[in-house]
Amino acid sequence: MSVAVCYAPAGRKGPTTMTSNVIQPVGIRQVAVIGLGLMGSGIAELVARSGRRVDAIEVDQGFLDQGMARLHASLDRAVSRGKLTDAARDEILARIRPTVDLAAAVADADLVIEAIPERIDLKRTLFAQLDEVCRANAILATNTSSLSITEIAGGTRYPARVAGLHFFNPAPVMKLVEVISTVLTSPEIDETLALLSRDLGKTPIRVSDRAGFIVNALLVPYLNHAIWLLETAQATREDIDKAATAGLGLPMGPLTLLDLIGLDTALAVLETLQAEFGGTRYVPAPLLRKLCDARLFGRKSGRGFYDYQRPGSPAAAGKDHEVGPVPAEVALIREQDDSLGELAGRITAAGISVVPHPSGQTGLVIVAADPKQRVLDAAMATAHPADVVGVHFIRAGNFIRAGNGEPGLAELVLPDVTAAGMAAKAAALAARIGLNAVISRDRPGFLVEALAYAQFNDAVRMFQDGYASPADIDTAMMLGCGYPHGPLQMLDDAGPANVVSVLEAMHAATGDPAYTPVPLLAEYATAGIRFRS
Ligand code: NAD
């Protein structure tokens, strides 16, 4: 049975006697979507696909036409891919009523979803207006990514009916919806929005109002960390991106993803996180601010970390590395660590001679690199430190669970003592023997573990704070960001004790408290407890 509840005090129009206070999804028939931009057009499409009537509202006819054109294009794409028939597309479109008349459009809405720009002043003004013109039992939801929903609700007279409904881009495709309740939101509203999300084919995760919710609080600091790595010359932009895709199995590298999300959006989220949590983890990388000041916002402005008008052009920041001549003889120091065993076979098979100790003929000296330790120390222990490159394998099975232990990625690590030109030789060797390689400076964690473990630490902190369960954290990152496995599952696979050691080394090397293992991680590591098993 469909029921409704009045969130206004007695006296306002609307039903007040209920058998249950939870409005079932079938009770939400008329939905108003405000703001037909990137998100709003996708949300309007999604809701109309579910058979509901949608009022799609914009500020003026120009924006309305743009939004409807985006929506038409999305449905046309679905038709051309055979996922929708012409007739179904026409039925969906017939359920959508584009308009610029806000008051008239929201008057009969059961649910209003706001998707206007991420500015608290705009949202508060709009919600105060909605409070006046909506029915007393209408639910008011915001799609904000990072603003305080409590603050948005605070501008209304009936904050109990205000909640967050955070879709991911593109809304018709991405399976996650974060349903966010404030301390003032009625529990029934929260329940109704979760049921509705399921009815729309999504997986809802219910959380309270906190900066960044689950996904952005974990994703955006990781993206910012990638910018710090670029800015401090740890690696090239391509190698930072490759570390995430080939090393962690993520669908996109962090710098490419930043260009897609928009650098200005990422900066705004970081500033919100910084204001709420403080500390060093959320301090925006100076390069992020500079690119934003230069209006290099990413794809939407044609250039960010990459140049979309001149693909393949040099990085706006950081250096590209060169590929040099393949050395004729390689010394492979395997005394302390035999992780390089199979490397010898590959190099020999490529017709390059391998010796156990460097001589005057040796073009390159390879040592095993451990993300917890400096390669520099191993280099100084050889007679030829300037010729040393460390190699660290990220194997299929380390983070990407399916796999047979084959090296998926080799991190070629350069201590500062290594001579110029060695990176180019190591890159040439890797290419010759068919290794997928990235080049990293000799800093703890190198690239893959530095990026991943700092995020795992954030994920444990979120669980430690009681904000979300390990299962919800992992589901949110898988469905919201396309992770093959959640961060806590990956942490379990990497081993909590190992993660703690690398984080401690990162902390010792940088002095940055952001890398201190959170107490719960240290406890789990000591006790041998896993987060997901
Ligand atoms: P956008 O700039 O593409 O679209 C916003 C639209 O709102 C514009 O078309 C604008 O004309 C319209 N608008 C502004 N004021 C309005 C008003 N008073 N009434 C009606 N329309 C109005 O922005 P977006 O990327 O779609 O983001 C919208 C919201 O969704 C933001 O809060 C954002 O944080 C959130 N969000 C964005 C993403 C993303 O990937 N872009 C993902 C999740 C959530």
DSSP 456-477: HHHHHHHHHTTSS-HHHHHHHH
Q: Which residues contact 78 (CB under 8 A, 6 or more apart)?
A: 84, 89
Choose which residue among 39, 65, 219 to substitute to test ligand 1 binding: the one with the highest number of ligand atoms within 8 A of its C-beta.
39
* Stronger pLDDT, 492 or 404, i.e. the higher one: 492
pLDDT value of residue 3 = 47
Residues designated as active site = 145, 166, 178, 216
Cβ atoms 79, 89 nearer than 8 A = yes
The pLDDT of residue 455 is 98
User: Tell me, what amino acid is at 257?
Assistant: L
Residue among 116, 223, 267 whose CB has most ligand 1 atoms within 8 A, to mutate: 116
Of all residues in the chain, the percent with pLDDT exceeding 70 is: 91
How much of the chain, in percent, has pLDDT values that exceed 90? 80
Q: Are 133 and 124 in contact (CB under 8 A)?
A: no
Q: Whose CA is nearest to atom 43 of ligand 1?
A: 168
Residue 14 pLDDT greater than 70, yes or no:
no
Q: Whose CA is nearest to atom 22 of ligand 1?
A: 35
Task: Kindly give the distance from the C-alpha atom of residue 99 to the centroid of ligand 1, in angstroms, as a whole number.
Answer: 16
Tokens, residue 304 = 């960010």
How far CA 398 is from CA of 226, 248, 433, 473, 514, in Å, comes to 20, 8, 22, 20, 24
Q: Which range (144-158, 280-294, 458-472) has the least confidence?
A: 144-158
Say whether pLDDT at 291 is over 90: yes
Report d(CA 472, CA 214) in Å as an integer.
Answer: 9
The protein residue with its alpha carbon nearest to ligand 1, atom 12, reads 35
Atom of ligand 1 nearest to the CA of 114: 29
Please give the number of the atom of ligand 1 that sits closest to the Cα of 268: 34
pLDDT of residue 17: 33
Please tell me the residue having the least CA distance from ligand 1 atom 8. Answer: 37
Rounded average pLDDT over 32-59: 97
Atom of ligand 1 nearest to the CA of 169: 40
Q: How far is the CA of 284 from the centre of ligand 1 (A)?
A: 23
Q: Does the pLDDT of residue 377 top 80, yes or no?
A: yes
Whether the pLDDT of residue 13 is over 50: the answer is no
DSSP assignment letter at 303: B
Mutate to test the pocket of ligand 1, among 71, 122, 145 (most ligand atoms within 8 A of CB): 145
Name the pTM for this structure.
0.91
Say whether pLDDT at 126 is over 90: yes
Q: Which stretch, 159-168, 357-366, 389-398, 431-440, has highest mean pLDDT?
A: 159-168
pLDDT digits (tens, 9 = 90+) for 381-435: 998 999 999 999 887 656 655 555 566 799 999 999 999 889 999 999 998 998 8
Q: Whose CA is nearest to atom 44 of ligand 1?
A: 145
- Mean pLDDT, rounded, for 91-103: 98
CA 4/CA 229 separation, integer angstroms: 52
What size, in residues, is the chain?
533
Return the exposure string of 340-350: e unless at least 16 CB atoms fall within 10 Å of the residue's CB, then b: beebbebbeee
Q: Return d(Cα 177, Cα 192) in angstroms, integer.
A: 13
Span from the CA of 240 to the centroid of ligand 1 (angstroms): 30
Q: Which amino acid residue places its CA nearest to atom 39 of ligand 1? A: 169
Q: Please give the pLDDT value at position 336.
A: 59
Whether the pLDDT of residue 211 is over 70: the answer is yes
pLDDT tens digit sequence for 309-327: 987 776 655 555 666 788 9
CB-based contact 465:331 (threshold 8 Å): no
**Kind plus residue range of the DSSP H or E element containing 122:** helix 120-133
Index of the ligand 1 atom closest to the CA of residue 123: 18
- Locus of tokens 């990293």: 440
* Between residues 219 and 38, the one the model is more confident about: 219
Mean pLDDT in residue range 487-513: 96
* pLDDT computed for residue 18 by the predictor: 36
114 CA from centroid of ligand 1 (Å): 8
Distance from Cα 207 to the centre of ligand 1, integer Å: 22
Q: Whose CA is nearest to atom 1 of ligand 1?
A: 37
Please report where in the chains the tokens 């794409």 appear, as a residue: 77
Residue 360 CA to ligand 1 center (angstroms) comes to 64
- Residue 11: pLDDT over 50: no
Indicate which residue's Cα is closest to atom 36 of ligand 1: 145
* Range in 52-56, 87-91, 419-423, 485-489 with the lowest mean pLDDT: 419-423
For residue 39, the ligand 1 atom closest to its alpha carbon is 26
For 76-95, the pLDDT digits (tens) are: 999 999 999 999 999 999 99
Q: Is the per-residue pLDDT at 356 higher than 80? A: yes
Q: Which atom of ligand 1 is nearest to the CA of 146?
A: 34
Distance (angstroms) between ligand 1 centre and the Cα of 460 equals: 31
Please give all residues whose beta carbon lies within 6 A of any atom in ligand 1, as ranges.
34-40, 57-59, 63, 67, 115-118, 122, 126, 143-145, 167-169, 261
Arithmetic mean of pLDDT, 459-479: 98
Tell me the pLDDT of the chain averaged across its residues.
Answer: 91
Instruction: Give, for 167, the enclosing helix (H) or strand (E).
Output: strand 162-167
* pLDDT the model gives residue 82: 96
Which residue lies with its CA nearest to atom 4 of ligand 1?
A: 37
Atom of ligand 1 nearest to the CA of 125: 18
Give the Å distance between the CA of 165 and the centre of ligand 1: 13
Distance 423 CA to ligand 1 centre (A): 45
Atom of ligand 1 nearest to the CA of 142: 32
- Confidence at residue 267, expressed as pLDDT on a 0 to 100 scale: 96
Does 278 score more than 90 pLDDT?
yes
Q: CA-CA distance, 295 to 290, in Å (whole number)?
A: 9
Angle between helix axes 448-464 and 496-510 (nearest 10 degrees) is 110
Q: How far is the CA of 133 from the centre of ligand 1 (A)?
A: 21
Name the residue with the closest Cα to ligand 1, atom 3: 37
Structure-block tokens of residue 464? 């430690």
Residues 181, 216: Cα–Cα separation, whole Å: 16
Write down the pLDDT at residue 16.
32
